[in-house]
Amino acid sequence: MKIYVLGAGAIGSLFGGLLFAAGEDVVLIGRKPHVDAINKRGLRITGIIEEVIKVPATISPPEEKPDLIILATKSYSTVEALRASKAIVEDTWILSIQNGIGNEDEIRKFGGKPIGGITTNGAILVSSGVVKWTGKGITVVGLYPKGRHTFVDKISEIFNRAGLETIVSENIEGWIWAKAIVNSAINPIGTLLRVKNGAILDNEELLSVAVEVVKEGCKVATQNGVKLEVHPIDLLFQTLKKTRENYNSMLQDILKGRKTEIDYINGKIVEYAKSVGLEAPLNFLLWGLIKGMEKLHGGVENVWGKRE
């Protein structure tokens, strides 16, 4: 299968590298330092495996249309990435493996055929050309927002062949929302308190706040007609237990002085609440606190003193 990974950073390079190593026709589309390093020395995947993979990489989308685009930018880059790839997006299957809500709707706005996806694999871009596979997880893919298509089954087959454990859901929207609701609790709380995920599990007060945030998100999802595929309270406890040693990705972004995906997690829950006449005060509070933190002059240095 001819696959382009649009937004080849940590998770995109991991997926693209493994698919290429399994024999798929893959091109990574990323930023120059990472692309140059890959073309010079190959993509090094370390952590769970130790492999150098000579996967082709480029900074701009090739002209020829692929069978599949894997969208792996941060959610706040989705529109810009789709706009820059407009020529190859129209009528192409596009799988989002991003966190957050709304990416698939953006794909459809650009004429792409959206496939939803969530993954619990973990990856960090250690340096240009080097990705660390930090946690082996599962990936769920499905025709967006729900339903079935043989092409999605094909994606699952080639992902599994590449060592990416993958299942197909006929209600991928239910998975995307469930994961976003869990992220809406773990990510801002862990970021504001600058703690690993396990600290939320071990602290009664933090855990009760996280449970209340999850309950608020569930109410918004249900009011919007979303059938949650897995109960977010169960997923919250499973995730906290499994990733207790993680500093969540939002905290990592803040520590690196980067934007976060809060608008596409808690921000979207507030937006969807409003669309059905609901308030989402807990999500609104967390959204505002993280946005404020992002904008504080000097970023984290202002909040916690010297950046690590």
Ligand X SMILES: NC(=O)c1ccc[n+]([C@@H]2O[C@H](COP(=O)([O-])OP(=O)(O)OC[C@H]3O[C@@H](n4cnc5c(N)ncnc54)[C@H](O)[C@@H]3O)[C@@H](O)[C@H]2O)c1
Q: Give the nearest distance from C-beta 277 to ligand X in angstroms.
A: 29
Contacts with ligand X by CB under 6 A lie at: 7, 9-12, 29-31, 72-75, 77, 80-81, 84, 97-100, 119, 122-123, 125, 249, 261
Would you say 219 or 258 has its CB closer to ligand X? 258
Residues 27 and 90: beta-carbon distance below 8 Å: no
CB of 278 to ligand X, least distance (A): 25
Shortest spacing between CB 194 and ligand X, in angstroms: 19
Instruction: Output 13 or 246, the one with its CB closest to ligand PAF.
Output: 246
176 binds, among ligand X, ligand PAF, none (CB under 5 to 8 A by kind): none
With CB atoms as reference, the residue minimizing the distance to ligand X is: 9
**Catalytic-role residue among 179, 215, 227, 274:** 179
The listed partner (ligand X, ligand PAF, none) that binds 246, CB under 5 to 8 Å by sort, is: ligand PAF
Nearest to ligand PAF of 169, 243 (CB atom):
243
Closest to 188 (Cα-Cα) out of 301, 303, 267, 257: 267
Q: What is the distance between the alpha carbons of residues 88 and 280, in angstroms, rounded to a whole number? A: 38
Partner from ligand PAF, ligand X, none contacting 188, C-beta within 5 to 8 A by type: none
Q: Is 227 among the residues known to form the active site?
A: no
CB of 151 to ligand PAF, least distance (A): 26
Range 98-123 burial, b when 16+ CB lie within 10 A, else e: bbbbbbbebbeebebbbbbbbbbbbb
Instruction: Report the Cα 190 to chain-centroid distance in Å.
Output: 17
Nearer to ligand X, 79 or 278 (CB): 79
- In DSSP notation, 233-288 reads HHHHHHHHHHTTTPPPHHHHHHHTT---SGGGTHHHHHHHHHHTT---HHHHHHHH
Q: Shortest approach of ligand PAF to residue 127 CB, angstroms? A: 20
Contact residues: ligand PAF, CB under 6 A: 99, 183, 186-187, 197, 239, 243, 246, 248-249
Rounded CA-CA distance 249/279 in Å is: 27
248 binds, among ligand X, ligand PAF, none (CB under 5 to 8 A by kind): ligand PAF
* Cβ-based nearer residue to ligand PAF, 166 or 239: 239
CA distance 306 to 142: 44
* Catalytic residue set: 179
